Amino acid sequence: SRAFNVESVRSEFPTLNQTLDGGMQPVFLDSGASAQKPQLVIDKEREVEEQYYANAHRGRYSFGARVDEELDAARDRIAGFINSETSAQVAFTAGTTATLNMIAAGWGGRFLKSGDEILITEMEHHANIVPWQQLAIRTRATLRYIPLTPDGRLDMDRLDEVLTAKTKVLAVTAMSNVLGTVTPIAELAARAHDVGAIICIDAAQSVPHMATDVQSDDIDFLVFSGHKIYGPTGVGVLYGKAERLDEMDPILFGGHMIDRVYKDHSTFAAAPAKFEAGTLPIVQAIAVGTAVEWVQGLGVAAIHQHEQLLLESAYSQLSQIPGMTIYGPDVSHRGAILSFRMADVHPEDLAAILDRRGVMTRHGHHCTMPLHDLLGVSATTRASFAAYNTAADVTALVEAIEFARRTLRVA
Ligand code: PMP
């Protein structure tokens, strides 16, 4: 990978290289929601649209063949990126939320029964809570939670209390979208397998920031979204061990996912086709391959190192601001996300004032209401970092918060 030069990285992002009304440069600190796209990814989408757009799957003409080739290449690239055993174990989906619903209904719906337990954590995104709640209702299984330590890590000392022979699925985020907490995936997988459970990883937040290896971590299912890894919206990824995908039922039925259709019944194709009913978001899926290629070009380790330096700087400067509360663990246990509150300032007011300085953050419960209940607040303001953020962005955040303190006359 080439040497990491943040100014050069940033120059690849058209949205970040414009002047906002008022003459400010954008300080984009909401990549945890959706990352910006480098020119390479935008160009790839245009290339497909302008040069060979067609539906996928064996059109006997040049456009169709090219689309198939590009989709295969994207699938191969993603498989390599997460170290999947084969490309056939990577299916394109509509996103993390859609994929977690597929697994809960399609695998959980097949195997769970009354008395079984589903184990998640207190820091999950609603996308990794609600599908399991629905599964529990349908199967009369019980949903349980791994508790957190006071500083927002998984309380591994209490894992035995909740991970038992009754547990059939452990579904956990690899990185919290609020606390930034990085969870010990390999250890959790081993512990889950010890009791005969499978492990399902919500990697939506982790894939852009740290290396993913489904084989070394022994992961059964792993899911993520294109739009958080510098790619388009509307597309995500399902990875599964071959055996898991074989035994998992599809939840969308129709074209392409079948083997043979008779008037009264059908047989299904093997993965990945089994999970790709209908027309895929073709352009977007191809562009996710390009986004992953872009990340690989920089090196996910180099991106991680860069972001952790920004995180350390932001964490230490924000900690010194009077009245500031930062939620979650210290920087050694988290990725580059900071959620905070300042005194009694409402997180939305804070975000709105930061925006007056061109500093774009997100406020609210970030789709983690149970976590916010635990934190005892209804909302936080969140700054999340990506490869294109600079030390100047951190300075802008700190200065904008100081500006907010003065504007709001916080003591
Ligand atoms: N899980 C986590 C940890 C997330 O951060 C998000 C996005 N905020 C999701 C799931 C849902 O992803 P999507 O909206 O792309 O389906």
Q: How many angstroms does the Cα of residue 180 sit away from the middle of ligand 1? A: 13
Q: Which atom of ligand 1 is nearest to the CA of 97?
A: 16
Query: Tens digits of per-residue pLDDT, 88-142?
Result: 999 999 999 999 999 999 999 999 999 999 999 999 999 999 999 999 999 999 9
State pTM to two decimals. 0.98
Is any ligand 1 atom within 6 A of the Cβ of residue 95? yes
Q: Which atom of ligand 1 is nearest to the CA of 367?
A: 8
Query: Tens digits of per-residue pLDDT, 208-249?
Result: 999 999 999 999 999 999 999 999 999 999 999 999 999 999
- Tell me: pLDDT of 1 over 80: no
Q: How many angstroms does the Cα of residue 127 sit away from the middle of ligand 1? A: 6
Three-state helix/strand/coil letters over the chain:
CCCCCHHHHHHCCHHHCCCCCCCCCCEECECCCCCCCCHHHHHHHHHHHHHHCCCCCCCCCHHHHHHHHHHHHHHHHHHHHHCCCCHHHEEEECCHHHHHHHHHHHHHHHHCCCCCEEEEECCCCHHHCHHHHHHHHHHCCEEEEECECCCCCECHHHHHHHCCCCEEEEEEECECCCCCEECCHHHHHHHHHHCCCEEEEECCCCCCCCCCCCCCCCCCEEEEEHHHCCCCCCCEEEEECHHHHHHCCCCCCCCCCEEEECCCCEEECCCCHHHCCCCCCHHHHHHHHHHHHHHHHHCHHHHHHHHHHHHHHHHHHHHCCCCEEEECCCHHHECCEEEEEECCCCHHHHHHHHHHCCEECEEECCCCHHHHHHHCCCCEEEEECCCCCCHHHHHHHHHHHHHHHHHCCCC
Instruction: Kindly indicate the confidence band of residue 2, based on its pLDDT and cuts at 50, 70 and 90.
Output: low
Q: How many angstroms does the Cα of residue 367 sit away from the middle of ligand 1? A: 8
Q: How many angstroms does the Cα of residue 153 sit away from the middle of ligand 1? A: 19
Q: Which atom of ligand 1 is nearest to the CA of 94?
A: 16
Is any ligand 1 atom within 6 A of the Cβ of residue 225? yes
Is any ligand 1 atom within 6 A of the Cβ of residue 84? no
For residues 37-41, average pLDDT: 98
Query: Tens digits of per-residue pLDDT, 354-380?
Result: 999 999 999 999 999 999 999 999 999
Q: How many angstroms does the Cα of residue 96 sit away from the middle of ligand 1? A: 6
Is any ligand 1 atom within 6 A of the Cβ of residue 204? yes
Instruction: For ligand 1, pick from 102, 177, 201, 337 the residue to mutate: most ligand atoms within 8 Å of CB.
Output: 177
- Tell me: pLDDT of 3 over 80: no
Is any ligand 1 atom within 6 A of the Cβ of residue 381? no
Catalytic (active-site) positions: 367
pLDDT of residue 18: 97
Is any ligand 1 atom within 6 A of the Cβ of residue 97? yes
Q: How many angstroms does the Cα of residue 34 sit away from the middle of ligand 1? A: 9
Nearest residue (by CA) to ligand 1, atom 8, is 33
Is any ligand 1 atom within 6 A of the Cβ of residue 177? yes
Instruction: Kindly indicate the confidence band of residue 320, based on its pLDDT and cuts at 50, 70 and 90.
Output: very high
Is any ligand 1 atom within 6 A of the Cβ of residue 284? no
- Tell me: pLDDT of 384 over 50: yes
Q: Which atom of ligand 1 is nearest to the CA of 202?
A: 1
